[in-house]
Amino acid sequence: MSTAPVAIVTGASRGIGRAGALALAEAGFDVVVSARTVHEGEGVAEPNSVREQVTLAVPGSLERTAEEIVERGRRALIVPMDLSDRTSVEALVPTVLEAWGRVDVLYNNAIFRGVGTLDRIADLTIESMTALMVGNFMHQILLIQQALPHMVERGSGTIINMVSGSARLDPPGPPGEGGWGILYSASKAAFARVAGGINAEYRAAGVTAFNVDPGNVVTEARKAAKPDDEYSSGFGSEPAEATGAVVGWLATDPGAERFVGKWIFAPKLCSDLGLLPGWTFTPPQ
C-alpha cells in the first residue's frame, strides 16, 4: 500500500479545482478527484438565474484531471459527487478511506451551480434559497464531518475551504450587470465562518483549516456563458493556477501556520511567494 499522503479535491473536473488537484499531485499527494462530470463531453453549466434558459456545454472532466495526475507520477481516484445529493456527499470520505485508508487534505472547492446564484432579490424563492444554502453551506459541513474523525484519530489534517470576495464586498451592480446575486454571496459568507470554527474546536487535535479566496478567475463555465464579456473590468483577472499553487503550498509548508485565521487572497500570496514562475499579481486599477 502507498505511504503517500492523500488529498481530496471537490469540483476537480475543471477550473480552480483541477488546478488545485494538479498542484497537490506535484507536491507529492495521491489525489482523489470529485465532481459531477466524470467523462469528457458530459460537462454542462446550468442556468444560474430565472433570467437564463440555456444549459451550456463546458469542457473538463474527472477522467481528464485524473489522467493529468497520473502523468505527474501520482495515483488518482475518481469518486463522483453532487453537492445537491446528500447521499453522495456523505459517501465521499468513507469511499476514500476504504480504498486508500487515509485523508490528509480536504480541499472544498466545489460550489453549487443553479438557479438562485445570479438571481435578483425579487426573483428569489424558498426553493432556490434552500437549494443554494444546502449546496454551498450545509452539505459542505456534512462533508467536513466525514473527514474530521479520521483526521483527529491520526492527529493531523488540513482542510482548505474555497471562499469568495463576494462574501465581504457589496456588488457594484445588479446581477447580470457587473454584480453578483446576494444569495450566492450570503452562502459563501456562511461558509467562510467554518474554517474558524474548525480551528477553534480541532486545532489542538492537529487539524488546521484555511480560507482561500481565488480572486476573479474566469472559469470554463463563465467563458461558456458569456464568451465576449470583459470579466476583468474593475476586479482583475487571475489564473486558476495561482490558487492551485497556493493550495499546494498550504498543504505542505510549515510556514502556512501564520495564515491560520486569516483571509488568504490567493493571487497576491502566490505572487509574494513566487509560486507561479513568470507570473506576478497586478492589483486592478
The answer to whether residue 278 is domain-embedded is no
Give the distance from CA 64 to its chain's centroid. Answer: 18
Distances (CA, A) of 225 to 14, 45, 156, 231: 15, 8, 41, 12
The answer to whether residue 226 is domain-embedded is yes
pLDDT at residue 236, rounded to an integer: 56
- Give yes or no for residue 233 having a pLDDT over 60: no
Give the pLDDT confidence of 26-83 residue by residue, as tens digits. 999 999 999 999 999 887 777 778 887 677 788 899 999 999 999 999 999 999 999 9
The answer to whether residue 30 is domain-embedded is yes
pLDDT at residue 42, rounded to an integer: 84
Binned at pLDDT 50, 70 and 90, residue 176 comes out as: confident
* Backbone CA torsion sign across 104, 107, 110, 116: positive
Q: What is the DSSP letter of 138?
A: I
Listed residue (269, 242, 243, 241) closest to 255, CA to CA: 269
Q: Return the minimum-mean-pLDDT range out of 7-16, 18-27, 46-55.
A: 46-55
pLDDT at residue 218, rounded to an integer: 73
The answer to whether residue 285 is domain-embedded is no
pLDDT at residue 234, rounded to an integer: 47
Q: How far apart are CA 48 and CA 58, in angstroms?
A: 14
Q: Which residue has the higher pLDDT, 51 or 18?
A: 18
The answer to whether residue 13 is domain-embedded is yes
pLDDT at residue 265, rounded to an integer: 97
Please name the residue ranges forming H helices in the chain.
15-26, 62-71, 86-100, 126-133, 139-154, 182-191, 194-202, 220-225, 240-252, 266-273
- Give yes or no for residue 119 having a pLDDT over 50: yes
Q: Which domain holds residue 162?
A: 6-273
Q: How far apart are CA 8 and CA 115, in angstroms?
A: 27
pTM: 0.93
Rounded to an integer, the average pLDDT of 14-25 is 97
The answer to whether residue 99 is domain-embedded is yes
The answer to whether residue 68 is domain-embedded is yes
The answer to whether residue 1 is domain-embedded is no
CA atoms within 13 A on the CB side of 204: 2
pLDDT at residue 77, rounded to an integer: 98
pLDDT at residue 223, rounded to an integer: 56
Q: How far apart are CA 264 and CA 255, in angstroms?
A: 13
Structure-derived torsion over alpha carbons of residues 83, 25, 215, 218, reported in degrees to the nearest 10: -80
Domain count, the chain: 1
Q: Do residues 203 and 156 touch, judged by C-beta distance below 8 A? A: no
pLDDT at residue 41, rounded to an integer: 83
Q: What percent of the chain has pLDDT over 90?
A: 80
CATH number of the domain within which 215 lies? 3.40.50.720
Which of 109-113, 151-155, 278-282 has the largest mean confidence? 151-155
pLDDT at residue 180, rounded to an integer: 92
